[in-house]
Amino acid sequence: MNILDGKLVAQAVKDELKAKTELLKKAGKSSPHLAAVLVGNDGASETYVAAKVKTCEEIGYISTLIRFDADVEEDVLLDKIRELNEKKDVNGILVQLPLPRHISEEKVINTIAAEKDVDGFHPSNIGKMVQGQPAYIPATPYGVLLLLSHYNIETKGKHAVVIGRSNIVGRPMSILLSQNTPTGNCTVTICHSHTHNLKELTLQADIIVAALGKPAFLTADMVKEGAVVIDVGITRVEDPTKKKGYVIKGDVAFDEVAPKCSYITPVPGGVGAMTIAALMKNTYLAASLQE
Ligand code: GUN
């Protein structure tokens, strides 16, 4: 069993971006600038956004964090996005999801200028991605592809089973793994809460991507010997013995599944770190394309 070390690979990606950003600065150009919008004070969203801002600092990007109270009017948020769209010195915009129920995620995503949509959630970017055209790829699936590629994991002709069909992870992941690319060319099955005989399908999988948000959902009896298992889950589970009061749990019962795998991602230290690295790559790309 081999660990897919997301922390290590993410660091390599960040080091490369930092070096490229230093070169930009030396050439008198501006650093890439990411604007992150956070609505409300959901604990997990606070943590993710703080990590994104911190990573910008680490690699020499400019970042702006814009915060709104949870009861902000939808129009106020949309106006702020429009303002950021117009700002020449802002290259990438992300609005952390989920949003409070009174705000339409669809309207928010559609309002972000496609060329600044470094999350790759805008229909224009999703459409381009589906057609294999250059586009911003959603950060989590992009991070998974970078990890597979770093470890030279063969995907061609393999059966990949993706569990979860969210717009952010499962659906784009399934499309990317099926494409005629070096990290694609899989036969893909996408499973969700209405899938019958899930175990029958996962037992056929050479590659499993678990992205459903249910701690320890994937157990050893669902995994065939030698499979590659990618755990996208990051659920906070209460644990009064911890200082923070919770622990982060993946979707995979790691201890029992790992011995059966050829490769597996840990949680934490797997896909989470790669998501931020991929977002940073998209932000660099945005700055280059807008130059
Ligand atoms: N919420 C969970 N994952 C993401 C992500 O990749 N981007 C944004 N904006 N919100 C998220």
The DSSP H or E segment spanning 256 is helix 254-257
253 CB-near residues (< 8 Å, 6+ apart): 216, 217, 218, 219, 220
CB 165 within 8 A of CB 192: yes
Question: Whole-angstrom distance between the N-terminal and C-terminal Cα of the chain?
Answer: 44
158 catalytic per annotation: no
Q: Which of 119, 206, 231, 251 is catalytic?
A: 119
Q: Do 92 and 159 sit in the same domain of this protein?
A: no
CB 218 within 8 A of CB 163: yes
287 CB-near residues (< 8 Å, 6+ apart): 24, 30, 31, 32, 33, 91, 92
pLDDT recorded at residue 291: 86
pLDDT over 70, % of the chain: 100
Instruction: Find tokens 């622990």 and name the residue.
Output: 247
Q: Do 147 and 103 sit in the same domain of this protein?
A: no
Query: For the chain, what is the mean pLDDT?
Result: 97
Q: Do 183 and 62 sit in the same domain of this protein?
A: no
Residues 213-226 have pLDDT tens digits of: 999 999 999 999 99
Q: Which of 52, 116, 249, 281 is catalytic?
A: 52
Q: Whole-model pTM?
A: 0.96
Q: What CATH number is given to the structural domain containing 33?
A: 3.40.50.10860
On whether residue 287 sits in a domain, the answer given is no
69 catalytic per annotation: no
pLDDT recorded at residue 124: 98
User: Among 110, 119, 166, 280, which residue has the most ligand 1 atoms within 8 Å of its CB, making it the best to mutate?
Assistant: 119
- The pLDDT of 104-123, averaged and rounded, is 98
CA–centroid distance, 67 to ligand 1, in Å, is 15
Q: Do 176 and 252 sit in the same domain of this protein?
A: yes
Residues 116-163 have pLDDT tens digits of: 999 999 999 999 999 999 999 999 999 999 999 999 999 999 999 999
Q: Which domain holds residue 143?
A: 139-272
Q: Give the 3-state secondary structure of residue 231.
A: strand
Residues 167-215 have pLDDT tens digits of: 999 999 999 999 999 999 999 999 999 999 999 999 999 999 999 999 9
Question: Which two tokens mark 220?
Answer: 């050893």
Q: Do 60 and 181 sit in the same domain of this protein?
A: no
CA–centroid distance, 97 to ligand 1, in Å, is 5
CA–centroid distance, 207 to ligand 1, in Å, is 24
Overall domain count for the chain:
2
